Amino acid sequence: MPVEFYVHAPMPDNSNERRAACRVARLLYQQYRDSEDHLLLVVNVDPAQAAVAPPAHDLTQLDALLLGPNFVAILDFKNYFDPIESPSAHGAWYAVTRHGAKKVLGGASENPLQQAYRARAAWSAYFQQVSAQFLAPERQQALHKAWPHLSFFLLFHPYLNARSRLPALGNADHWFHPRSIDQVTELAYALRSPLLRLTPAECRGLVLHGLRAQPWDDMAQLLPQQVLGYLMVSEPDSRRAPVRYPLSPFDAMTIGRSASVQGHRVSSAGLSLQVSGRHAQVETTHQDVLLQDLGSKNGTYVNGQCLEAGQLVVLQPGQRAFLGNTDSQACHIWFEPRAWYGDSGNITLVTQTGSS
């Protein structure tokens, strides 16, 4: 398989970082499983939890490391969907919410860009030091000055808000890439480092000997699985027919009236007008369907309760979630598991229960 998955240190099942890492794995698998290019993804590189070789004391934790034929990139995940603003590359970054500004975390650094500078310097020095363990002498010499050319993907999950105003990046512009998480495949395709280019065998040597990572067997087994089921979207008041979307493990889709939604675009008629531009997101784990409100104006309702912005809930089979209004004619969604369908693809369980 042209995409290989590794894990360095264990991740909690319900962490934001794990959800983001699984999403990246799904996207890379979909894009590169039949490609001639070879990519390796290593998640949760944490020297404080698991040893690297040789041990080092100044290394930062990495959410992930992605190695391709033309680049090596550090991946950092940020769990924000509000606009990100900062007047200066050296000052604090803020997520501008309906309730005020919230500082964007950058580890021990002032902001994500300073965090990237620190991580890039520490890990480029480490890879240069440890390269003798996985490179032939002539390749070690050829790549001696290449390691400082590490790239850095700052990936916002679920997305980087289009209204964000990031500071001018200066010389970092060619290696520091703030993007929505779903743009990781575009970055992997387009990025070309002038010097840091490793063969698949050299990439594997860095992962296994330089990091002492282990194959991420769970991910390799889960990604080829069939669909978990289907997300149904109904807009009775707009007189549109219900739409059915297949959901696989570690999928994600947004729902709203904006043309930029990656999923279902709600109509601009009737009660659907109360749905925000980017109203809600649905994402899956290996078995559950998760729903979160994306700071909508009129709210997302499950069991009659309005979700807080960013709050994650498990959408149970058949359970209705209403967007913008709890009226039965308003836009609403529900999940139908694959087990409800026969081999023909026709639903076999007619009654789906759920309250507003």
pLDDT digits (tens, 9 = 90+) for 219-250: 877 787 779 999 999 999 988 899 999 999 99
Shared domain for 153 and 245, answered yes or no, is: no
In terms of DSSP bridges, do strands 214-215 and 176-180 run parallel, antiparallel, or are they unpaired?
A: unpaired
Shared domain check, 269 and 206: no
Strands 151-156 and 176-180: parallel
Largest interatomic CA distance in the chain = 70
| 259 and 199 share one domain | no
Asked if residue 15 is part of any domain, the answer here is: yes
State residue 346's pLDDT score: 62
- pLDDT tens readout for residues 258-308: 998 989 999 999 999 999 999 999 999 999 999 999 999 999 999 999 999
Question: Within this chain, do residues 199 and 316 fall inside the same structural domain, yes or no?
Answer: no
Residue 351 domain flag: no
Q: Is there a domain that residue 326 lies in?
A: yes
φ/ψ of 75, rounded to 5, equals: -115, 130
Helix (H) / strand (E) containing 139:
helix 137-142
Its domain, for residue 328, covers 229-340
Query: Model's pTM, two decimal places?
Result: 0.90
Nearest to 298 by CA among 286, 309, 310, 290: 309
Tell me if 6 sits within 8 A of 215, measured CB to CB: yes
Which pLDDT does position 337 carry in this prediction? 96
In which residue are the tokens 């404080």 written?
A: 48
d(CA 310, CA 326): 19
What CATH number corresponds to the domain at position 308? 2.60.200.20
Q: Is residue 346 situated within a structural domain?
A: no
Where the chain has pLDDT below 50, the residues are 348-356
Task: Answer yes or no: is 354 within a domain.
Answer: no
Same domain? For 327 and 298 the reply is yes
Are residue 174 and residue 250 in the same domain, yes or no?
A: no
State the sign of the Cα–Cα–Cα–Cα dihedral 75, 76, 80, 82. negative
- Same domain? 217 vs 234: no
Q: Give yes or no: residues 216 and 248 share one domain.
A: no
Residue 55, judged by CB atoms within 10 A of its CB (0-12, 13-18, 19+), counts as: exposed
d(CA 175, CA 107): 19
Same domain, 21 and 134: yes
Same domain, 72 and 165: yes
Number of domains in the chain: 2
Do residues 102 and 295 lie in contact, with contact meaning Cβ atoms separated by under 8 Å? no
With vertex at residue 105, the alpha carbon angle to CA 84 and CA 213, rounded to the nearest 5 degrees, is: 115
